[in-house]
Amino acid sequence: MKKAPAIIIFFIITYTIIGFAQVPSGLDVLMKIDKNLVLDKAISYTTIIIHGRTGTRSIKSKNWIEGKDKAFVEYTDPPREKGKKMLRLGNQVWNYYPEPTDRIITISGHLLRQSVMGSDLSYEDITENRKLTDMYDAKVTGSEMINNRNCYVVELSSKLDDIAYHSRKLWVDKERWLPLKEIRYAKSGRPIKQSELLEVFSLENRWYPKRILYHDLMQNGNGTEYIVESVELHAAIAESQFTKAALKK
């Protein structure tokens, strides 16, 4: 009977060690998210639904992406937006407006954090394809349930000086390795954007977002839904697609 307490202590210590061993590092979590989200080369079709203060409107687009610094967006609907295009190369964006001006406007630096077409998404949000592991250090700080899914709570701090979100807090699905909820912060620590993953789909042995609801916490609207209609991985994309000449084609 005197041995019972020692045995109990042994099992408590053993299970505690096992429990700690099962918690991944922040880097491990980010690597698994990157494996799901980062696309080498792809063509996608998306819909943005903007729930503004004066009503709701939708914008459809075709999107080309290659690596971390090349993106091209062509708006296809509604008619008043059709033909508008956006090219991103590195830290510069060119917007093309076919009518009535037939002109190209260059955007760079902090202007990349501006709203796109009155939505809760910035130019960086829409065209970002960099790995989280390249931008942030991460620490797993706990576990919580989000929409009946078991999640790791992960806090991110920026490795870079010039970055839109100095820190981020993620609730990462332990099975699918996608952030189900996220809060993004300014350098001051003020929360500036929040997102909630509402739907996912399976894509070539990875999980990918189907529908995300974004809220710019600096605005008074009712959020913006970003819906991925389809994605073609390993798409054949001509190099000429990522040029300013393609904007006026």
Span 84-93, pLDDT tens digits: 999 999 999 9
pLDDT of residue 7: 57
CA distances from 55 to 49, 114, 145 (A): 10, 21, 33
The mean pLDDT value of the chain amounts to: 92
Rounded average pLDDT over 151-166: 95
Query: Is residue 50 within 8 Å of residue 117, measured between CB atoms?
Result: yes
Least-confidence region, from 26-35, 169-178, 180-189, 215-224? 215-224
pLDDT of residue 101: 85
User: Mind listing the pLDDT tens digit for each residue in 52-82?
Assistant: 888 999 999 999 999 999 999 999 999 999 9
pLDDT of residue 162: 83
User: Mind listing the pLDDT tens digit for each residue in 183-211?
Assistant: 999 999 999 999 999 999 999 999 999 99
Closest CA to 239 of 97, 66, 107, 100: 66
- Answer whether residue 228 shows pLDDT above 90: yes
Would you identify the CATH topology of the domain 26-248?
outer membrane lipoprotein receptor (LolB), chain A (2.50.20)
* Cα distance between residue 216 and residue 73, in whole Å: 22
* Cα distance between residue 63 and residue 73, in whole Å: 5
SS (H, E, C) 55-76: EEEEEEEEEEEECCCEEEEEEE
Question: Which residues, in sequence order, are bridge partners of residue 202?
Answer: 207
Q: How many helices (H) and strands (E) does the chain have?
A: 4, 13
What is the value of pTM for the model shown? Answer: 0.89
SS (H, E, C) 15-34: HHHHHHHHCCCHHHHHHHHH
Local confidence band at 222 (pLDDT 50, 70, 90 cut-offs): very high
- Calculate what percentage of the chain has a pLDDT beyond 90: 84
Rounded average pLDDT over 141-152: 97
* Cα distance between residue 129 and residue 120, in whole Å: 18
DSSP-derived pairing of the beta strands 41-52 and 55-66: antiparallel
User: Mind listing the pLDDT tens digit for each residue in 37-58?
Assistant: 999 999 999 999 999 888 999 9
Least-confidence region, from 4-8, 40-44, 220-224? 4-8
pLDDT of residue 12: 52
pLDDT greater at residue 12 or residue 106: 106
